[in-house]
Amino acid sequence: MAYSEQVFLSEEIARQIKNGMAPPDNGFVKTEEIRPKTPSIINHNLTNSGQWYEIKIPVNVVVWSITIRGNHEIQYSYSPTHQTYRTLRAGEVLEADTAPKDIEQTEYGSIFVMSEEGGVVVELEFWQR
């Protein structure tokens, strides 16, 4: 093992111990071990049709996903200007892995959503440290 790898590994183990996690024997941490066991869920009601709503991603979130309750579709954007947006259909999941990296660099990352129908419920599920 190279010296730089040893330094990184020792820093990672120190961080894990500081955060109350016991590192496994090989020194690597699996995502499942970092993620808290119980997610938090916030339902957002898109009351008005054709109106953009802001969904804020809370601080210290490890993983998040957005789904639509019911058989609807929504448009979503990572920009407050909504110049570029995509469609999320019923049964599809929008996840942190597909989001731009800069959404996680701000204190509160935001996703903007809109539905052509009123009363659509969007579910934000997230795991915090």
pLDDT at residue 66 in the model: 94
Same domain? 30 vs 51: no
Residue 119 scores a pLDDT above 70: yes
Same domain? 112 vs 54: yes
Same domain? 90 vs 49: yes
pLDDT tens by residue, 6-29: 555 666 666 666 666 655 555 555
Give me the domain span that covers residue 62: 40-128
Tell which wins on pLDDT, 2 or 86: 86
Same domain? 53 vs 13: no
pLDDT at residue 63 in the model: 84
What is the count of structural domains for the chain?
2
Tell which wins on pLDDT, 32 or 12: 12
Q: Which tokens sit at 54?
A: 């802001």
pLDDT at residue 100 in the model: 66
Residue 108 scores a pLDDT above 60: no
pLDDT tens by residue, 52-105: 999 988 877 878 899 999 999 999 998 888 888 999 999 999 987 767 665 554
Same domain? 30 vs 49: no
Same domain? 73 vs 96: yes
> Is this prediction's pTM over 0.85?
no
Half-sphere exposure of 27 (CA within 13 A, CB side): 11
Same domain? 87 vs 54: yes
> How many angstroms separate the CA atoms of 82 and 110, rounded?
12
- List Cα–Cα distances, 40 to 1, 29, 64, 78, 127, in angstroms: 40, 22, 9, 21, 6
Same domain? 113 vs 64: yes
> How many angstroms separate the CA atoms of 5 and 45, rounded?
48
Q: Is 94 exposed, middle or buried (0-12, 13-18, 19+ CB in 10 A)?
A: buried
pLDDT at residue 51 in the model: 96
